[in-house]
Every structure is written in structure tokens, then in C-alpha cells.
């Protein structure tokens, strides 16, 4: 069969404006490779890097003539998802299958709101093939398709999930070649994303990862990971973003991956911006990661209040955060620590503790994020019952970003004004330390001060995000500063 994948535009970290995807969509790349292995034909349009994506869709509808259109979407950018669905429905009657994290979070609701034909939640590599096999039958039995959400007359049916894929080595590597790779910022910097495991066994109440990937930790073998790295290394890619949720959960496995990078003399650099846990590292591992080419790690701390950490089920201690920073400094790896403002039952005093804790940490910089209660998470259910939303519940994901000053909700214990005040303090700390990290203390401090002028900050952001040459120059400068 012929499948046309459409990836909607994404929202930038700064609010409602359009963002630029750094690299191809990893989930679609995996699906594409599996579909091709099973003799299906695939085309991809990423609206985030194509200026005339509507015309391209029209052209492929005429020339490629897809049997089905797959559209993926994230909850934080579902405004663009719904806009894309509406546009595609205006162009064709071809059946549409929705997928991605937003489907996993909202389930049947997305069919109610969009009136598309089908949706699929969770992992889809196995389920998608079964789905296409059924569609090709004279009398399809959609009840046999795992993970499928579909309509039978006026009733929306949610099929049972497929078992998690445990043998990840059997899945072919993601097919980034089917994307217009040269249009992504990662191409210029020779960066490729890589995922070495799936699933997270922890229960943080704000996290939506387990809705799509489950809580079973499922690692790829070190040998399989190295094989993928070698594939791209031979093609000139020397930088890798390890985007796992739990890369170091199995410390022995992480060490083995590093050992194989060293043994195979792969002169690469890799980073873990997605974050790893402070309780799953040691000095021996960090030194091996450094030797293998790791130059940056982000740690998820989320709060500087132990009471809040316990409340959100983070299952770490502040002492472990301090120790992780100390060990990472000893291993000479650049690193940041991430914090979120607005947790369940958090007070203004708890947030002040977080800011003070972050300020004292001896890391390269700290990240502050605005809590976004994603549908399907525990904190979302809590907020619905106990918080006062400052935006309509159906609209806040369209308007607010995790990098936004404005909170999504408030409580009696932590008001809107208090949340804005602490977010401003956190963002100032983040920006000052980030500029100093990337450009050195003197130039970084100057840039921090000049970007306090709001107009300068807005213009600079638009240039970097929407001008390819400026973006490439910015990446070269910041890359050199981290080496």
C-alpha cells in the first residue's frame, strides 16, 4: 500500500509562534523503515521545514495517490495538528490515521473532535502493519488491530494494546533518508538523534512518556546501538543526540556502549539533552562517557524542595542532585540541571527553595520550565479537580509553552502573580548562566544584559529561528563554545 506521512508544524519553546524542528521525526522514521521492510511505499512531508507544504500535499495526492494518510502530533502543538487535519480533509477523502503522543493522551477524544477515520495510540510498528493488512482485505476486521481507535457506526471503539516490543534489535534503524534531511539544522551540524531504549519504570506524576512508551524499560543491545552509530559515522555524521528517557538505568549496559565506541575508535561527540536521572550514575560511568565523546548531560531535578520531590514521585533526593553535579564536574563533562515551576501542591515558598537551590548548584547552567499539565497525566487530573485554570481547558495547549512566563493554572497556595514572579527569576538565572556557558563569562554577561532589552531579544530570537544562515552561524559559535 501507499502511505503519505504528514508531520504538522510545531510550536516554538517561546509560545505560540512556529518553531523549527532540529531533526527528522524519530517515530515516523522508525515507522517508515518498518513499512518499507514490509514492502509498502512511503512519502513524507514535514510541514515544519517546508514553506509550501500545502502545495506539496496537493501534488502527492495527484502523483503518489496514497491509500492512507498518517498524521502525527504532540499535545503541546495540537493547534497545528488540528489545522493540518482540517487542511488535508479539505483536499482529499483519503482515509486518515492519527498517531503520536497526543493520541496516546486523549484516546477517543481526538476522533470526536476531528472526525477522522482512525487513530492509533502507543507503539505502532507492529500494529501499523496489521492495520494495513486488514485494510487490504475485502472485509477488514478492524477489531483485530491492536492499539487502534476506530468507529463502528456511531460508536468509537478502543482496541486493546499490543504487547510492548521487547526485541528492539529486530526493528530496522530509523529511515531518516526518506526525509528532506538537508533542510534540518541537524544536517549542517552533522547531528543525528538516536534512541537506545524505550520505556521508563518511574512514576513522576507530570510525565506523559509512559502513556506512549509504557513503564517497561526495554533496551537495545550495545552491539545494535553501535551498529547504528557506525552507519551514520560512515556518512559523515559525528554528533549524536541520545534521546533516551533512561539511558543510564542499566549502568553496565551504558558502560558497554561507551566501551564499544572507544574500542571501534569512533571519533564522535554525543550529548544527553533529554535528561538522565541523578540516581543512575557513578564516576566510573561518567569518565567512560567522557572518553567515548560525551560532552553534555542534562539532569532532571525538577524541584529544590524535598517535600515537592516526594509529592511528585520523583524518587530522588537533593543530596543525590548535589553529588551528581559534583561527579560530573570531576569527569569534566558540561552539564545542566532542569527545574519545573508549578508542581502539584507546590507553594510559593517551595518554589523559592527551588530557585535558591538552583542558584547554588555548581553546574554550567540551569533550566527552568513552566509546568504543563498534559492530558492523561496524574498532575492533569489533579489540576482539573483542585486548581483554577487561567486559560480555557480546551485552549491552554494552544497558547502556552513550557518556556512561557505565564502559568496555566493557579492555586490558593501559589497564585498567578507569585508564579510569574518566580518564573521571571528562574528564566533570568537560566539565561545568564546559559550565555556565560556558551560565550564565556565576559561576552556572555554582556549578551545577557543587552538581551534584557525586550525588542533586542525578540529580533534575535526570530533571526535565529527563522533564518537558516543565522541559525547555522549560531550553531557553529555555540558548538565551539561547548567543546
- CATH number, domain of 107, equals 3.40.50.280
pLDDT tens digit sequence for 15-24 = 556 778 899 9
Query: Do residues 1 and 156 lie in contact, with contact meaning Cβ atoms separated by under 8 Å?
Result: no
Tell me if 217 is assigned to some domain.
yes
Q: Is the dihedral of CA 108, 114, 115, 120 positive or negative?
A: negative
- Residue 288 and residue 201 share a domain: yes
Query: Do residues 343 and 308 lie in contact, with contact meaning Cβ atoms separated by under 8 Å?
Result: yes
* Distance from C-alpha of 438 to C-alpha of 344, rounded to nearest angstrom: 33
Tell me if 93 is assigned to some domain.
yes
Name the stretches of the chain with pLDDT < 70.
12-17, 454-483
- Residue 410 and residue 266 share a domain: yes
Give the position of cell 494518510: 69
- Asked which of 107, 139, 158 is the last residue of a domain, the reply is 158
Nearest to 270 by CA among 483, 29, 25, 23: 483
462 burial class (0-12, 13-18, 19+ CB within 10 angstroms)? middle
* Distance from C-alpha of 193 to C-alpha of 24, rounded to nearest angstrom: 8
What pLDDT does 402 receive? 79
Residue 243: left (phi > 0), alpha (psi -120 to 50), or beta? Answer: alpha
* Distance from C-alpha of 379 to C-alpha of 375, rounded to nearest angstrom: 9
Assign residue 422 the CATH number of its domain: 3.80.30.20
Secondary structure of the chain in HEC code, one letter for each residue:
CEEEEEECCEECCCCCCEECCCCCCHHHHHHHHHHHHCCCEEEEEECCCCCCHHHHHHHHHHHCCCCEEEEECCHHHHHHHHHHHHHHHHHCCCCEEEECHHHHHHCCHHHHHHCCCEEECCCCHHHHHHHHHHHCCCCCCHHHCCCEEEEECCEEEECCCCCCCCCHHHCCCCCHHHCCHHHCHHHHHCEEEECCEECCCCCCCCCCHHHHHCCCCEECCHHHHHHHHHHHHCCCCCEEEECCCCCCCCHHHHHHHHHHHHHCCCCCEEEEEEEECCCCCCHHHHHHHHHHCEEEEEEEEECCCHHHHHHCCCCCCHHHHHHHHHHHHHCCCEEEEEEEECCCCCCHHHHHHHHHHHHHCCCCEEEEEECCCCCCCHHHHHHHHHCEECCCCCCHHHHCCCCCCCCCEECCCCCHHHHHHHHHHHHHHHHHHHHHHHHCHHHHHHHHHHCCCHHHHHHHHHHHHHCHHHHHHHHHHHHHHHC
Tell me if 225 is assigned to some domain.
yes
385 burial class (0-12, 13-18, 19+ CB within 10 angstroms)? exposed
- Residue 267 and residue 221 share a domain: yes
- Residue 371 and residue 224 share a domain: yes
- CA quadruple 305, 309, 312, 316: dihedral, nearest 10: 170
Tell me if 457 is assigned to some domain.
no
What pLDDT does 394 receive? 79
Q: Which cell is 123 given? A: 507503539
Query: Do residues 108 and 120 lie in contact, with contact meaning Cβ atoms separated by under 8 Å?
Result: no
Tell me if 463 is assigned to some domain.
no
* C-alpha angle 420-422-425 in degrees, rounded to nearest 5: 110
What pLDDT does 183 receive? 93
User: 86-92: long-range contacts at Cβ-Cβ below 8 A with a sequence spacing of 24 or more?
Assistant: 87/54, 87/57, 88/6, 88/57, 89/116, 91/54, 91/57, 91/58, 91/61, 92/61
* Distance from C-alpha of 80 to C-alpha of 18, rounded to nearest angstrom: 9
- Residue 430 and residue 308 share a domain: yes
- Asked which of 134, 158, 182 is the last residue of a domain, the reply is 158
Tell me if 335 is assigned to some domain.
yes
What pLDDT does 125 receive? 95
Q: Is the pTM of this model over 0.85?
A: yes
What pLDDT does 454 receive? 66
Tell me if 394 is assigned to some domain.
yes
User: 229-238: long-range contacts at Cβ-Cβ below 8 A with a sequence spacing of 24 or more?
Assistant: 229/194, 229/261, 229/266, 229/268, 230/264, 230/266, 231/173, 232/192, 233/266, 233/268, 236/190, 237/190, 237/191, 237/192, 238/190, 238/267, 238/268, 238/269
What pLDDT does 12 receive? 66
- Residue 365 and residue 230 share a domain: yes
- Residue 154 and residue 202 share a domain: no
- Residue 205 and residue 151 share a domain: no
- Residue 114 and residue 210 share a domain: no
Domain that holds residue 393: 190-452
- Residue 199 and residue 152 share a domain: no
- Residue 148 and residue 71 share a domain: yes
Beta partners for 6? 45, 71
- Residue 147 and residue 248 share a domain: no
- Asked which of 137, 158, 179 is the last residue of a domain, the reply is 158
Q: Is the dihedral of CA 266, 246, 425, 78 positive or negative?
A: positive
Tell me the residue length of the chain: 483
Tell me if 475 is assigned to some domain.
no
Instruction: Give me the phi and psi of 218, to 5 degrees please.
Output: -125, 100
Structural domains in the chain (count): 2
Amino acid at each position: 500500500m501507499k502511505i503519505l506521512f504528514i508531520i504538522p508544524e510545531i510550536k516554538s519553546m517561546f509560545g505560540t509562534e512556529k518553531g523549527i524542528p532540529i531533526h527528522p521525526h524519530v517515530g515516523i522514521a522508525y515507522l517508515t523503515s518498518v513499512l518499507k521492510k514490509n514492502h509498502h511505499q512511503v512519502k513524507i512531508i514535514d510541514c515544519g521545514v517546508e514553506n509550501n507544504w500545502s502545495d506539496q500535499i496537493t501534488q502527492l495526492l495527484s502523483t503518489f495517490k496514497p491509500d492512507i494518510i498518517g498524521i502525527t502530533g504532540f499535545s503541546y502543538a495540537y493547534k497545528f495538528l488540528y489545522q493540518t487535519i482540517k487542511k488535508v480533509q479539505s483536499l482529499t477523502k483519503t482515509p486518515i490515521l492519527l498517531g503520536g503522543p497526543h493520541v496516546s493522551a486523549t484516546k477517543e477524544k481526538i476522533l470526536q473532535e476531528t472526525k477522522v477515520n482512525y487513530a492509533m495510540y502507543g507503539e505502532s510498528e507492529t500494529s501499523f502493519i496489521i492495520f494495513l493488512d486488514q485494510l487490504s482485505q475485502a472485509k477488514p476486521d478492524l477489531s483485530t488491530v491492536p492499539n487502534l481507535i476506530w468507529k463502528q457506526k456511531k460508536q468509537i471503539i478502543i482496541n486493546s494494546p499490543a504487547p510492548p516490543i521487547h526485541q528492539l534489535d529486530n526493528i530496522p534503524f530509523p529511515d531518516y533518508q526518506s526525509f528532506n534531511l538537508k533542510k534540518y539544522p541537524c544536517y549542517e551540524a552533522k547531528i543525528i538523534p538516536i534512541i537506545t531504549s524505550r520505556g521508563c519504570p518511574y512514576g513522576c506524576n507530570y510525565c506523559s512518556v509512559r502513556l506512549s512508551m509504557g513503564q517497561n524499560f526495554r533496551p537495545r543491545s550495545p552491539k545494535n546501538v553501535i551498529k547504528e552509530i557506525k552507519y551514520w559515522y560512515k556518512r559523515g555524521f559525528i554528533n549524536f543526540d541520545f534521546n533516551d528517557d533512561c539511558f543510564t538505568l542499566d549502568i553496565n549496559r551504558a558502560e558497554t556502549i561507551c566501551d564499544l565506541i572507544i574500542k571501534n575508535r569512533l571519533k564522535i561527540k554525543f550529548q544527553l539533552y533529554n535528561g538522565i536521572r541523578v540516581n543512575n550514575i557513578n564516576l566510573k560511568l561518567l569518565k567512560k562517557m567522557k572518553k567515548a565523546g560525551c560532552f553534555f548531560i542534562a539532569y532532571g531535578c525538577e524541584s529544590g524542595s524535598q517535600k515537592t520531590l516526594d509529592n511528585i514521585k520523583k524518587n530522588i533526593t537533593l543530596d543525590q542532585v548535589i553529588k551528581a553535579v559534583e561527579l560530573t564536574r570531576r569527569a569534566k563533562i558540561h552539564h545542566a540541571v532542569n527545574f519545573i515551576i508549578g508542581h502539584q501542591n507546590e507553594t510559593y515558598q517551595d518554589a523559592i527553595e527551588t530557585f535558591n537551590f538552583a542558584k547554588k548548584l555548581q553546574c554550567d547552567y540551569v533550566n527552568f520550565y513552566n509546568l504543563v499539565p498534559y492530558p492523561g497525566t496524574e498532575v492533569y487530573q489533579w489540576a482539573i479537580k483542585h486548581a483554577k485554570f487561567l486559560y480555557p481547558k480546551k485552549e491552554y495547549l494552544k497558547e502556552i509553552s513550557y518556556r512561557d512566563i505565564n502559568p496555566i493554572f493557579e492555586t490558593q497556595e501559589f497564585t498567578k502573580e507569585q508564579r510569574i514572579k518566580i518564573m521571571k527569576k528562574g528564566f533570568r538565572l537560566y539565561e545568564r548562566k546559559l550565555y556565560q556557558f556558551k560565550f564565556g563569562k565576559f561576552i556572555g554577561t554582556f549578551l545577557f544584559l543587552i538581551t534584557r532589552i525586550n525588542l533586542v531579544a525578540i529580533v534575535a530570537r526570530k533571526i535565529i529561528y527563522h533564518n537558516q544562515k543565522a541559525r547555522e552561524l549560531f550553531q557553529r559559535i555555540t558548538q565551539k563554545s561547548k567543546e
